[in-house]
Amino acid sequence: MANTSEGLLTVDEDSTIVFANPAVERILGYQPNELVGQPLLTLVPDRLDQQHTRAFQQYIETGERQMDWDDVDFPARHKDGHEVPVSIRFREHSHDGQRLFTGILRDNTDREKRRNELERYEDIITHLPEGIYRTEACSGGTFVEGNTALREMLDVTSMEALLQQGPADFYADPDERQIFQERLREDGVISDEELKVQTATGETIWTSITAIRREEQGEVYIDGVAEDITERKEREERLRAFREAVEQAGHSIYMTDTDGTIEYVNPAFEDITGYSEEEACGETPRLLSSGEHNDEFYADLWETIRSGEVWQGEVTNQRKTGERYVVNQTIAPVTDDDGEIERFVAVSADITDQKERERTLERQRVALERVKQITDSLRPLNRALAQAPTRDEIEQVVCEQLAASDAYLFAWYGDYIPEREQVTPQEWAEIEDECLDDFAVTTNEGDSVRGPVGRAVHSCDVQAARNILTDPLSESLHKNALDGGYQSSAAIPVAFDGTVYGVIGVYSDRPNAFDEYEQGLLRELGERIGHAIYAAENERLLHTDTVVELEFKTSSAESIFVRVSEELDCRLELKTIVPTSENAYLCYTSVDGVSPEAVATKLSSSPVVENPRVVDATGTSGTVEYKVSQSPVTTLLEYGATVTSAIIESGDETVVGEIAPDADSRKIISGIQAAYPDTTFIAKRSVDRPVRSINLTQDALDELLTDRQREVLELAYRAGFFESPRCSTGDELADALGITSPTFYLHVRKATRKVLEQIDEIGLFD
């Protein structure tokens, strides 16, 4: 008995509990030992104490029952205080001469629930004015009763037609009908069962069915109430679809109550912000604050949505990782049927990448505008350069045009003096004279304090301080920049063929100006100005009848040619020197007193000489070809002079050059002596240039060339032999003349050489 699933209670004549089995704990929460010795009234609610006490006492004394003790239903008091519907059936017996009463205690909670439901649905059937019906209990039973609302719901034309059919005729799914019938047989009642029904016209609707199986006068019927819930199901479907859309949306969505406490977030919110639903719910949107927006920004937002309007704008938020991101956010109030705000919903599209693209496009737009501004500024400068005849005018027009442009505030031009390692401003525009001090530069390549001007000279490239106010290397210029209103500057070397003539300083009020593209434009400008200066100097020298001749003699070991002549005891004479594109000069030098091979070998050991080769050699004389990047001759050329003679013999090198009368000879002299310390300035003299003319008349050509040489040369010229590409080859012309190819080439070379020798005699090559 102790292991039965039903509760057992035994009481004595004093209504004291003397036994309880473990099942009592499941029903009423008391352990058996807690009840033994307690009065039975422990399990009876206070309001029923007297009734139970009188009934039990009368039964003991007289055997008469005020209550049906065979099956008593009453609400028992659970240990935690709530009431449990139970039934108990007592039977009297004796033990050791003691009169005892043992009862079986059953939990009637489920039965009571069904009874309440039955009463509720009976009330529904009684009072609900629509969708009420009665059918026979058998599975194929027809409607016995039905109201107008049911007929209209099922689209049946008349009540007579309805009563000829049964529920089985309207089930959309036969399997659901079978399940419904079985449950009704088992439970006797079904509450709010949702079924899909097909009406008489074929339309499918949703219904909520509440049905009761009941017996009347030996017949079993089913009474039911049918409610059309199609609208509700459609709303639920829309809600489900909306929820799926929200859950799967790529936009971050969250909802808050009217105080701003987050109540819901979708998965995209978690992905974008890094905060899980558990972390976000209960917090406010301040969780995402980046500090980018001020209090007025948020005050305006709240004022807008609390007034019932939608707020939309860009917000910079912060992810859980601390990374900032930008969203296009829409916050809308959600109202109830009375128009009162219940909550707020926020939809945020992450536009961080879009904003970065916009910033990139804006930077590109600004850069293009700046490029246009700069090119527009440089265009008139290029025209002015073409018209400036002298170096002084070139320097002046450069400063004026740069300062007058929209791109720059002011500019200056300074000459570079190599021997003093100094750049001295010569021309300036839009700047006060006292603001220009000498710019000292250093030759120490490792000197970290060298400014842009010094770096420009030594690198022969544009150097920029793009943001002087924040650049620690430009700290010494901070005050000047603040006073002058500029934020960036650039130093542009003016050079041609490796010779630095000077430096242009330009200044801008744009922070981070002089990017790589702008530096490229200024680099080209510096090269054009250098070429213009070089051309102006040579033009002046070419058109003057009187020139200044400078003569130097050096025994400096810094010159490789001095060392070679001394070590080999030979004589070297420069015949031709031509600048190349590699910042070097191609030279042809005659050798006398030693084999040209020995000279070429010696020259090959020097770092300033490249690719020495013997052009021709006859014993102890001949010609050597080489490229040189540094020598007394190249230094003189870099100062704009024209070298007319260079002879090196027995450890002494004598160089003669011509300069224009108004050229700065002192600068050239000090520059040569600074580069080659053991150099003596021999003489400075004015020289009248002889008038040179070319007189290659018909008679002169007849004297120079044989008839055959003239015929071959004229034929080669007329047939396009000297064109590129050639219109006729040497073999074709040889065939036309009826001679061999070697004979043709021999005549062409001899004739060409004779013409060139005549030109050299005239002095055109000097």
**Confidence band of 129 (pLDDT split at 50, 70, 90):** very low
Whether the CB-CB separation of 105 and 27 falls below 8 Å is answered with: yes
Task: Flag whether pLDDT at 70 surpasses 60.
Answer: no
Average pLDDT over residues 635-658: 89
Tokens at 639, concatenated = 């100062």
Q: Where are the alpha helices (DSSP H) in 544-583?
A: 560-568
Cα 521 to Cα 518: distance, rounded to the nearest angstrom = 5
Contact by Cβ (8 Å): 29, 78? yes
pLDDT score of 447 more than 60: no
- Residue 476: predicted pLDDT: 64
Q: Tell me: pLDDT of 123 over 60.
A: no
Report the pLDDT value the prediction gives residue 540, as an integer from 0 to 100.
63
pLDDT > 90? residue 283: yes
Strand spans (E) along 388-522? 410-417, 422-429, 439-440, 463-465, 488-496, 499-508
Beta bridge pairs of residue 211:
190, 224
| Residues with Cβ within 8 Å of residue 309, at least 6 apart in sequence | 333
Amino acid sitting at position 335: T
C-alpha of 353 from chain center:
6
Kindly list the distances between the CA atom of residue 718 and the CA atoms of 670, 699, 739, 743, in Å, as whole numbers in the listed order: 53, 20, 18, 19
Q: Is the pLDDT score of 21 beyond 80?
A: yes
Which pLDDT belongs to residue 316? 93
- Residues in CB range of 282: below 8 A, 6 or more apart: 261, 262
What local confidence, expressed as pLDDT, does residue 128 receive? 42
Tokens of 410: 């002011």
The tokens of 319 are what?
A: 């992810």
496 - beta bridge partners? 499
Q: What is the CA radius of gyration of the chain?
A: 57
Cβ neighbours, 10 Å, residue 630: 20
**CB neighbours of 88 closer than 8 A, spacing ≥ 6?**
9, 72, 74, 103, 104, 105, 106
In our burial notation (b when 16+ CB lie closer than 10 A, e otherwise), range 108-128 reads: beeeeeeeebeeebeebbeeb
Pairing of strands 189-198, 422-429: unpaired
pLDDT-derived band at 69 (thresholds 50, 70, 90) equals: very low
Give the integer Cα–Cα distance in Å for 62 and 55. 11
Residue 140's pLDDT is 61
Place of tokens 């002089």: 514
Bridging pattern class, strands 571-579 and 585-592: antiparallel
Instruction: Please report the pLDDT score of residue 436 as a whole number.
Output: 59
CA dist 499 and 638 (Å) reads 5
Residue 369 vs residues 90, 425, 486, 522: alpha-carbon distances, Å = 104, 31, 20, 16
Q: Is the backbone peptide bond immediately before 493 cis, with ω within 30 degrees of 0?
A: no
If DSSP codes are grouped into helix, strand and coil, which group holds residue 692? coil
Stretch among 84-88, 105-109, 129-133, 224-228 having the lowest mean pLDDT: 129-133
Residue range 735-756, pLDDT digits in tens: 777 788 878 888 888 888 888 7
Which has more pLDDT, 554 or 137?
A: 554
Range name among 179-188, 437-446, 560-569 with the lowest pLDDT average: 437-446
Mean local confidence (pLDDT), 308-333: 92
656 strand-pairing partners? 551, 645
Give the integer Cα–Cα distance in Å for 104 and 6. 7
Closest to 433 in 3D by CA, of 417, 412, 454, 451: 412
At 310, list the tokens: 């939608």
Q: At residue 526, does pLDDT exceed 50?
A: yes
* 136 phi and psi angles, rounded to 5 deg: -70, 150
Q: What tokens appear for 55 in the block?
A: 């009934």
Question: Would you say residue 423 has pLDDT above 90?
Answer: no
pLDDT at residue 397 tops 90: no
Segment among 315-329, 350-364, 460-474 with least mean pLDDT: 460-474
**Three-state SS sequence of 218-248:** CEEEEEEEEEECHHHHHHHHHHHHHHHHHHH
Q: How confident is the model at residue 698 (pLDDT cuts 50, 70, 90)?
A: low
At residue 614, the 3 state secondary structure works out as strand
- 17-31, 184-198, 214-228, range with greatest mean pLDDT: 17-31
Amino acid in position 462:
V
pLDDT confidence of residue 553: 93
Rounded Cα distance between 148 and 143, Å, is 13
Q: Within 10 A of 655 (CB to CB), how many other CB atoms are there?
A: 27
Q: Is the pLDDT of residue 68 over 50?
A: no
Q: What is the DSSP letter of 695?
A: -
pLDDT given for residue 719 in this prediction: 66
Res. 695: pLDDT tops 60: no
Q: Which residue has the higher pLDDT, 714 or 425?
A: 425
pLDDT at residue 439 above 70? no
493 bridge partner residues: 503
pTM of the model: 0.41
pLDDT per position as a tens digit, 470-513: 776 666 666 777 777 888 889 999 988 777 888 999 998 888 88
DSSP secondary structure string, 360-406?
A: HHHHHHHHHHHHHHHHHHHHHHHHHHHH--SHHHHHHHHHHHHHHSS
| For the chain, the helix, strand and coil percentages under 3-state DSSP, each to the nearest 5 | 40, 30, 30
- Average pLDDT, rounded, for the chain: 81
Least confident of 10-19, 203-212, 720-729: 720-729
Q: Quick one: what percent of the chain has pLDDT higher than 70? A: 86
Do 574 and 657 touch, CB atoms closer than 8 A?
no
Residues 347 and 250: beta-carbon distance below 8 Å:
no
Sorting pLDDT into bands at 50, 70 and 90, what band is 449?
very low
Nearest-CA neighbor of 639 among 552, 576, 571?
Answer: 552
